[in-house]
Structure 1
């Protein structure tokens, strides 16, 4: 069944465009009704990032949930993984994170968590979608059964303690100079404080949110400022989170960027040595560099690939029993600790290795040489069918696979948000990769134009 509201990571769109107060209210009502199970007093925790539109959406969702009898516990600005953790910790029936992650301030979104702290299943989301557009007037709570709302104090301290407990109790970050970029987002308070409590010398920026500057020239999707700051301050390491802190990239002492693939390699190898991997391997996506797969194979570890999206990574982890997974973008899921990606907890695992090895970050986090990778986006007209299923395109892809002859990979996939086909190739011969990607892109352009 096609979806009207939910995408791969909740509901997301332009604030006061797609994401209106009316929609937020109805999502609150619909979600509350779907999860109103049993006769107990139901509760929902709601967190948000620092976008200006968060006030509007939060207030509307409070109205929606209380109108169907849910008590609402308001957390204020908190990282997405903190909301997931607190949903379980506070025995709530639901958790809500109001955020558009790494998007600019004028977007916003609604992420939903079940009582177990995991994002909702497809079936639950479809049930909510059907409720959103239904007449709910006869399903609302009676006057005496309306919900209450209150702000919860001390939640920042709870998340800080949770994050610190993912490290050995005796481990200290004393002696490390750390630059942290919080993207003017949800982690602007908790992460610098936690690093300071762990003993690091902390230089922070992206910690002055004004409602409009979240992810603006800062954060994990714009790490140039972090790279410059690390060099300027002669820091040992830089950490860049995104707007809701569920992803992370890092920077070494020379200002070089360390992406999610390298961070996964560090964590996987460390956990293998410590006997902490639940299975001999990790889960990643089709976009994960082949260099990582080869590196892991040399360690006797497998790499299970999924579709792009941390949701699909987590599904495979749960189904097959892996406890480490992630994406090149820095969504890293460590299921021993969290039910969703947690950029800060992932960064702490890397810092622990840095302290253990007592080596520069540039050496610790250069575990493999990435293979050259080329991506081209080919736009096509809506209504021209599916270019990737055309016989000519399939023929060109098959020919490209033969030319690579096992020395590279091709990924040809449609965008989930726009009429674009993304053609990615990687392999040992960069010139060959460039050629085959160009050939496939040209074939897609030809058939979509002819259609």
Structure 2
């Protein structure tokens, strides 16, 4: 049975519409607070946000919800999603909340929840909270409601934690780094961490105004970063998304480097030193076959999951793996973080750059990807993938790709989109297959 509020990454939608209203946010706070009120200790929730204009509204509504059921609230302000996960655990909070719609435009917002261990909630826990959102929550007497306070040193705590993942014997002296923070949650912490490690830092996307988050900046649009890398003759460019749990790099020749190449570099480096745990790494069905073939040649397995970093993390925890991620740039390094962390992943790549002495365009090109094409089709209702004509076109495409490629078709968990991806050894065939399916879906939708 489909869930009413939660998608693949928390609750997300357009501000003041559907589930993304102040009223629903308050009820989420009440339901989540009531669910995690266990034991006799003084209960605490930690709340962070990105830089969206609606963050103020959602933060206030969540504070009202949590305090009304007796939870104390700790506010950390604009902070990366992985920082909220880390601080939730280090401050012994019962639950953590990140107010963000990640890479989406400013008009969207979302609510991501973390348990006391810093991990995203299970499907079962989210279902229980959903029941509370639409139900009645018991409220305590007036003298037992919660209090709210803001802590000022959250950024410093996260910067220190991120820097601790960088080898003590290395520095970034002599490296010119352009970092694009997407006018989002990492606009202060990312440039500061890189500067403290010795880099010559050139910062983009560090002037948030509430509506410019992800607006022609960040990992979803690295064109400004590419131009700045060439203009300043930088050694490397780092692009984060709105909540900084995603990373895309640009090499010294302004070529984009995706999450597959980064996972390959990190996994092979860890295997070389014996730090790689399990028999391989975890990635999603979207990762390129070129990555799988490269790792296989190194004796490293690639275990695939459905799309979504939460599914990657679940598989990593179940199998004891410490490296995983997505082609889109969610890189999960379980030795250092409980969720994707763009800054920490970037620091591991920078450590390899320093130690290798190679230019970024050489180091970061770990394999030649097979031709891959992804297109999105927006739909307004119905079930276009259940249409008989669409099914027939998909079946024909699978036959044409049989033995030479892959086809992945799915609904987005955060937007009303059908995502159609194909890859194979024949770029022309890949393009024909994707275009044919997209046309069929448009007609059905």
- Shorter-chain TM band: over 0.9
2: CA distance, partners of 1:442 / 1:217 = 28
Would the aligned equivalents of 2:385 and 2:391 in 1 still touch at CA under 8 Å?
no
2: CA distance, partners of 1:230 / 1:356 = 21
Q: Which residue of 2 aligns with 1:331?
A: 330
**1:414 maps onto 2:414 in alignment:** no
Shift in CA distance, 404/2, structure 1 to aligned 2, threshold 3 Å: closer
SS in 2 for 1:2: coil
1:301-312 superposed matches below 5 A = 301-312=300-311
Q: Which residue of 1 aligns with 2:349?
A: 350
1: CA distance, partners of 2:50 / 2:316 = 27
SS in 2 for 1:413: strand
**1:7 maps onto 2:7 in alignment:** yes
* 1:359-400: CA deviation from partner (whole Å, max 9, x where unpaired): 1000000011111112344566744x554573x655554444
1:57-72 superposed matches below 5 A = 57-72=58-73
1: CA distance, partners of 2:199 / 2:191 = 9
SS in 1 for 2:120: coil
The aligned length equals 444
The Cα shift of 1:401 comes to 3.5
How does the TM-score come out when normalised to structure 1?
Answer: 0.94
SS in 2 for 1:434: helix
* 1:129-184: CA deviation from partner (whole Å, max 9, x where unpaired): 11111233xx1121111111111121111111100111211111111000101111
Q: Which residue of 2 aligns with 1:30?
A: 31
The Cα shift of 1:66 comes to 0.9
SS in 2 for 1:350: helix
Would the aligned equivalents of 2:384 and 2:390 in 1 still touch at CA under 8 Å?
no
SS in 2 for 1:150: strand
1:148-297 superposed matches below 5 A = 148-297=147-296
SS in 2 for 1:97: strand
Would the aligned equivalents of 1:251 and 1:257 in 2 still touch at CA under 8 Å?
yes
1: CA distance, partners of 2:70 / 2:392 = 58
How does the TM-score come out when normalised to structure 2?
Answer: 0.95
2: CA distance, partners of 1:146 / 1:291 = 55
* 1:272-299: CA deviation from partner (whole Å, max 9, x where unpaired): 1111110121111111111111111111
Would the aligned equivalents of 2:13 and 2:414 in 1 still touch at CA under 8 Å?
no
SS in 2 for 1:12: strand
1: CA distance, partners of 2:318 / 2:304 = 13
RMSD of aligned Cα (Å) = 1.8
Would the aligned equivalents of 1:44 and 1:92 in 2 still touch at CA under 8 Å?
yes
Consecutive unaligned residues of structure 2, counting only runs of 5 or more, are: none
SS in 2 for 1:362: helix
Q: Which residue of 1 aligns with 2:321?
A: 322
Deviates more, 1:95-104 or 1:372-381: 372-381
Q: Which residue of 2 aligns with 1:130?
A: 131
**1:44 maps onto 2:41 in alignment:** no
Would the aligned equivalents of 2:9 and 2:414 in 1 still touch at CA under 8 Å?
no
The Cα shift of 1:302 comes to 1.1
1:386-401 superposed matches below 5 A = 387-388=385-386, 390=388, 394=391, 396-401=393-398
1: CA distance, partners of 2:174 / 2:43 = 47
* 1:424-444: CA deviation from partner (whole Å, max 9, x where unpaired): 211111122233334444555
Would the aligned equivalents of 2:384 and 2:441 in 1 still touch at CA under 8 Å?
no
Would the aligned equivalents of 2:295 and 2:301 in 1 still touch at CA under 8 Å?
yes
Would the aligned equivalents of 1:388 and 1:444 in 2 still touch at CA under 8 Å?
no
Consecutive unaligned residues of structure 1, counting only runs of 5 or more, are: none
**1:117 maps onto 2:118 in alignment:** yes
Q: Which residue of 1 aligns with 2:103?
A: 102
